[in-house]
Amino acid sequence: MQLLNFIKSQTNLPSKSIENTVQLLNEDCTIPFISRYRKERTGNLDEVQIGDIVTYKLQFEELEKRKITILKALGEQEVLTDELKQKIKTTTDLITLEDIYLPFKKKRKTKAEIARKNGLEPLAKIIMSQRATDIKSIAFKYINQEVKTKEEVLDGARHIIAEWINERADIRNNIRYQLDKFAIISTKVVKLKRDDTSTSLSTSEKAQKYRDYFDWSESLHRCPSHRLLAILRAEKEGFIRVKVEIDTDRAISKIEDRIIRSNNDCAFQIKLAIQDSYKRLLFPALSNETLNKAKERADDNAIQVFAKNLKQLLLGAPLGEKNILAIDPGFRSGCKVVCLNAQGGLEYNETIYPHAPKNDQIGSIKKINSLVNAYKIEAIAIGNGTASRETEQLIRKIRFNNNVQVFVVSEAGASIYSASKIARDEFPNFDVTVRGAVSIGRRLADPLAELVKIDAKSIGVGQYQHDVDQTKLKNSLDTVVQSCVNAIGVNINTASTSLLSYVSDIGLKIAENIVNYRNENGSFLSRNEIKKVTRLGAKAFEQSAGFLRIKNGKNPLDDSAVHPESYAVVTKIAKDLKLNISDLIGNKEALNKINLQNYCTETIGLLTLKDIVSELEKPGLDPRQTAKVFTFNQNIRTINDLREGQLLPGIVNNITNFGCFVDIGIKESGLVHISNLADTYVSDVSKVVNLHQQVIVKVVEVDVARKRIQLRMNFK
């Protein structure tokens, strides 16, 4: 019951929905399966809401695990009272729990611990009682071989008092409050770095990048996530020093108000102890805690942005099953050309040298024309890296016999894929250049199927992805990939191991077994046949079957998102309408006649039935749009060709909280700041633009030295 209450307090979702979802999660059900096929039990929760339940369930379990460890430690110390035990058990957050445990925590050799061993704790208690009027005289009684002067005695007593003050939860929470509300983060350039870069600032890329933060100050709680991550990266790379500050006098005064209630020698000693406790113990620890919390929030924000971008990228418009000629362009090393069939299979590869130093444009044009005719090419995909614009211009000069569409495709991550084990397994007899070109062509055909083979961090649509918590980032991106793959569905007879591994409850090993079964036995003819795959048991079948598609199989429902557990109800509906299932699919007139209430059961309700009817109307419909041809301004080759006021076509290639970056066909992408996105106020960039959206932008400012381009969205 505690778990359910904890999740409810964090999410405000209905109790029954939380209870049933937790039960399903405990039964090892996946998020895609629960959100798609258990709507009656969850109350129609979506993947995001179920994901929140998973997050808070893990948080609660981590908290409970820590409580058990602390209770055990306190029991061993024989200090666990009923009151303390109850306090620990009812705690609902980790910070409060650690504050409760702090006074009992085994410490390394501290100044306070040394003072205790020297017999000074009774004196510290006398001082804290604030009754003694001549504490210095009392201090003489505590002089011994270890503490030989009155000053050393009082100093040791103050160390003990400082530790007590540090362990008070109310004082710690008050300083936390001040840090949360009033903390200022400031930066100063490291002197050595200033000296190293002052004479060559325009040529030092890193110095240029961090120059804005060489002398910076602002409220920590107002500092945007991207700026905080940039500041912390600059600090990590040694360019700046970072400080977090609050009003020290005010903070110390607040502590004094809580402790001091006299005006004698004791009060003076306590004041000194408070100053020591604040400067040596409280502020260093709590300012670091506050900065770490701010970093966590910034991480979460950046990961959320990355996840949104990744989802849009993975669900990018596919060209579909076409014969594609793909080119990985280059100058000296030439352009690697591959021809792919409609299923993405490699038919041919060759290298052409249209650019300097060989400049064989005529020979290259003849070769491309010949390949287009020989392999019935319907589209050409050109990587957007080095020599991309020159190669695109060459291709557009060619007059093909048929209509051949030309696309420029992002190469981000292609080099990582080409050197990966996945690529070596797919193309063991070809080098990295061929594999890279194949990846470019396949990305055009189906971005999702190809991009799942690449580590998501390498795809290039993130914001400080190398600076955030890597475990959180991986978990978030894996969830996004899984969500996208299951939202589209996977053709089990053509999908790669990588793609299959993201299907609900499949994983890499079962995905390999599916491909091995396919290689040994041929294509799957029905979903029931999937049960024959090694290690794919009843649970895995239940979780995955609805997301696996079989084209032209024995049962037409096998090529739909209708789960096999619902086949019986579809059969009954078809029988009642006196139709075959194949005649029911796509028959809107017949489907509109169905009274869904007649088919409700204990396990299948209206929500599931509505999903079934929707799927029967358009079975296996791919929700993604179709890829569109796009052309950059052919007169813009480098940043030096840009002029303020120019209107240019571009493609949104990254979205951040502060704006979006637009590819205008040169090496550097331009920034459209959030203030330049629309002629009205914009609070959320992702609500205004989408990744890969084709736009017209206006050049606002060009900083050639810093390689920065400021753009404005063309509103007209």
pLDDT of residue 603: 86
pTM of the model: 0.88
Residue 517 has pLDDT above 50, yes or no: yes
pLDDT per residue as tens digits for the range 197-212: 444 444 356 677 788 8
Average pLDDT over residues 95-117: 93
User: What is the model's pLDDT at position 461?
Assistant: 78
Distance CA 675, CA 711 (A): 11
State the pLDDT confidence band at 462, using cuts at 50, 70 and 90.
confident
Residue 490 has pLDDT above 90, yes or no: yes
Interval 516-543 mean pLDDT: 97
With bands split at pLDDT 50, 70 and 90, how would you rate the model's confidence at 520? very high
Measuring CA to CA, how many Å separate 285 from each of 95, 167, 280, 288? Answer: 13, 12, 9, 5
Q: How far apart, in whole angstroms, are the C-alpha atoms of residue 488 and residue 353?
A: 39
Does the pLDDT of residue 639 top 70, yes or no? yes
Closest by CA position to 243, among listed 307, 296, 190: 190
Dihedral of alpha carbons 398, 319, 648, 639, sign: negative
Check pLDDT > 80 for residue 195: no
Return the pLDDT at 199.
44
Question: Which tokens belong to 190?
Answer: 């490291």
Sign of CA dihedral 97, 102, 104, 107: positive
Looking at every residue in the chain, the average pLDDT score rounds to 93
The pLDDT > 70 percentage for the chain reads 97
Does pLDDT of 573 surpass 50?
yes
Q: Say how far apart CA 123 and CA 143 lie, in whole Å.
A: 11
Residue 415, both tokens: 């080099």
Indicate the SS3 state at residue 402.
coil
| DSSP 8-state code for residue 571 | H
Mean pLDDT of 213-218: 94
- Provide CB contacts within 8 A for 533, sequence distance 6+: 510, 513, 514, 517
Q: Inform me whether the pLDDT recorded for 481 exceeds 70.
A: yes
> What's the count of helices (H) and strands (E) in the chain, helices before strands?
32, 15
> What distance, in Å, lies between the first and last C-alpha atoms of the chain?
57
Q: Which residue has the tokens 């994983």?
A: 507
Distance CA 274, CA 50 (A): 47
pLDDT digit string (tens) for 309-361?
A: 999 999 999 999 999 999 999 999 999 999 999 999 999 999 999 999 999 99
Report, as an integer, the average pLDDT of 390-399: 94
**Run of H or E including 500:** helix 497-501
- Decide if pLDDT at 159 tops 60: yes
- 409-420 tens-digit pLDDT: 999 888 889 999
* Residue 251, helix vs strand vs coil: helix
Give the C-alpha separation, 589 to 592, whole Å.
5
Q: Is-contact 561 546, C-beta < 8 A?
A: yes
Evaluate if residue 62 carries a pLDDT over 50: yes
Residue 335 main-chain phi, psi, to 5 deg: -105, 120
How large is the average pLDDT for residues 134-151? Answer: 94
pLDDT of 201 = 43
**Residue 1's pLDDT band (boundaries 50, 70, 90)?**
low
CA–CA separation, 419 vs 30, rounded Å? 32
> Which pLDDT score is estimated for 200?
46
Question: What's the alpha-carbon Rg for the chain, to the nearest Å?
Answer: 33
* Percent above pLDDT 90 for the chain: 88
Phi, psi at 120, each rounded to 5°: -100, 0
Give the count of beta carbons closer than 10 Å to the beta carbon of residue 189: 21
Place of tokens 């637009």: 662
pLDDT of 261 > 50? The answer is yes
> Which whole number is the average pLDDT over 685-713?
93
State residue 463's pLDDT score: 73
